[in-house]
């Protein structure tokens, strides 16, 4: 039985991939903060129960809708990007608030670090249980 056959490891791996994909989208939003008519995108909130049966290997990618936009893509996970509801829109039509995006980036980074730490500690617990030094 491999590590990935254990539900806790496959769930944590999927969650870390979700955070990596989200980081790419948030970076794209920050990069396009001054692009006219750009609307930010984000991932649907991660739900362990919903993801349980969907641990597939399909890829997500973003597309350039305007020639001046940056585009980020990730071949990991099956996470669908969606347009964000923009409550503040600049006169140029841009819906990105840089402060909000940076808060999301920071929160996403902290959540990713928590998942990574939990993954590493779970591996250490298994090693101790198998009689190997952690």
Residue 69 in domain: no
Residue 16 in domain: yes
Mean pLDDT of 4-20: 88
What is the tally of structural domains in the chain?
1
Residue 86 in domain: yes
Quickly count: other Cβ atoms within 10 Å of residue 21's Cβ: 24
Tens digit of pLDDT for each residue in 20-77? 999 999 999 999 988 998 888 999 888 877 766 655 444 445 566 666 555 555 444 4
Residue 134 in domain: no
Q: Quote the radius of gyration of the chain (alpha carbons, Å).
A: 18
- Cα distances (Å, whole numbers) of residue 32 to 47, 113, 118, 121: 28, 26, 33, 37
pLDDT bin (cut points 50, 70, 90) of residue 84 is low
Q: What domain range includes position 28?
A: 7-57+75-129
Residue 68 in domain: no
Residue 107 in domain: yes
Q: What angle do CA 121, 47, 106 make, to 5 degrees?
A: 65
Residue 111 in domain: yes
pTM recorded for the entire structure: 0.69
Cβ atoms of 90 and 97 closer than 8 Å:
no
Q: Tell me what the pLDDT averaged over the chain comes to.
A: 79
Residue 2 in domain: no
């Amino acid at each position: 039985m491999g590590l990935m056959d254990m539900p806790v490891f496959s769930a944590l791996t999927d969650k870390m991939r979700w955070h990596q994909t989200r980081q790419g989208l948030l970076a794209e939003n920050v990069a396009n903060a001054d692009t006219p008519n750009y609307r930010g995108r984000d991932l649907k909130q991660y739900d362990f129960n919903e993801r349980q049966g969907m641990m597939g290997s399909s890829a997500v990618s973003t597309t350039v809708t305007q020639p001046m936009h940056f585009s980020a893509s990730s071949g990991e996970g099956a996470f669908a990007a969606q347009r964000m509801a923009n409550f503040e829109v600049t006169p140029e039509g841009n819906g990105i608030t840089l402060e909000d995006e940076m808060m999301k980036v920071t929160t996403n980074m902290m959540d990713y670090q928590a998942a990574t730490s939990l993954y590493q500690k779970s591996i250490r617990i298994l090693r101790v249980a198998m009689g190997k030094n952690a």
